Amino acid sequence: MSSQVHSHLHSWSLSLPVAFALALVALVYLRGWLRLRSDFPLRRVAAFMGGLFLLGILMGSPLSTLDHDLLTAHMINHLVLMAVVAPLVLAGAPGLLLHALPARFNSVVQNSVRSSASAQRLLRLLQHPVFCWLGATATVIGWHIPAVFQLAMRSRWWHDAEYASFLVTGLLFWWPVFQPLSSAREWPRWSTPLYLFLATLPCDILSAFLVFCGRVVYPSYLSAPRLFNLSPMQDQQCAGALMWVSVTFAYLLPAIVITIRILSPLDAHSQQAERVALQRLSSRSLNGSQAEVL
């Protein structure tokens, strides 16, 4: 193993503000869960904490430094943020964070949102599947435009903004997948597998371009250290292939599971029961006792 690779693999560094923020979110979430633990099983906690843990790993592990030398490492970070961290956080019912706050504060916030027509329109827009799909797709394609990509490689600020946008649009993207079980709004359940399938197409096009274009798309990697004996072209092809395979599994496997659940009457009944329970909790929150939960 070369000294460069060795130094990268031992460069673990999570900044104190980031570590404090992650720990604070975890503690607030646990406080909210303790108030409603009878309604939310431990698997919810495991999912949310797993998402926070992976986020901390990405931000403090060697992957955060390797992405300037290897496009493959850069791609791993993006894929984990959008396809692993985001769905884990949503599966953990992040609305439980609100339960750590005073009930009066939650009631005031909810009443303010419900009484504001502009806030209601914004919420409807942010939850609309077309907006969520376009937001995630634009983020993936936009940050891989060579000029924009190089900007993020040269500027720490733009690099952090890039990662934040992948996480935020990842949460938006997965919201319509989790939303039918947690909202009173009705979206046709059969539309979710189609939504996930269509999301693979832009990623397939981008990954195929990286694999078969026959040239190095991002010039910064031409002068990067040769780690793991990979040439810039081999690194780019590896990154494209990784995206191709990972996105296919990350999106199509849930689509298959959801399709099976749609076709299962027993599972459909359990989904309806969960939706009714969540709506009951939501209605109680309007009285100031609880906040609406995902």
- Helices (DSSP H) in the chain: which residue ranges? 3-9, 16-35, 42-60, 63-66, 71-80, 86-91, 103-115, 117-127, 129-143, 146-154, 156-178, 191-212, 232-262, 265-285
Distance CA 247, CA 249 (A): 5
Burial class (CB in 10 A: 0-12, 13-18, 19+), 130: exposed
* pLDDT > 60? residue 274: no
* Residues sharing a CB contact under 8 Å with residue 39, sequence separation 6 or more, in sequence order: 277, 281
Q: Are 170 and 78 in contact (CB under 8 A)?
A: no
Sign for the CA dihedral angle at 58, 61, 66, 70 comes to negative
Instruction: Report the pLDDT value the prediction gives residue 165, as an integer from 0 to 100.
Output: 95
Instruction: For the chain, give every domain's residue range.
Output: 14-285
Lowest-confidence region among 8-22, 123-137, 147-161, 251-265:
8-22
Distance CA 18, CA 93 (A): 22
Q: Are 136 and 198 in contact (CB under 8 A)?
A: no
* pLDDT > 70? residue 129: yes
Cα 240 to Cα 210, 212, 218, 234, 237, distances in angstroms? 5, 9, 13, 10, 5
* Residues sharing a CB contact under 8 Å with residue 251, sequence separation 6 or more, in sequence order: 83, 196, 197, 199, 200
Smallest CA-to-CA distance from 202 within 144, 278, 129, 119 is with 144
**Phi, psi of 132, rounded to the nearest 5 degrees:** -60, -40
The model's confidence at residue 292, banded by pLDDT at 50, 70 and 90, is very low
Instruction: Report the pLDDT value the prediction gives residue 288, as an integer from 0 to 100.
Output: 42
The model's confidence at residue 263, banded by pLDDT at 50, 70 and 90, is confident
Instruction: Report the pLDDT value the prediction gives residue 184, as an integer from 0 to 100.
Output: 39
Q: Are 261 and 181 in contact (CB under 8 A)?
A: no
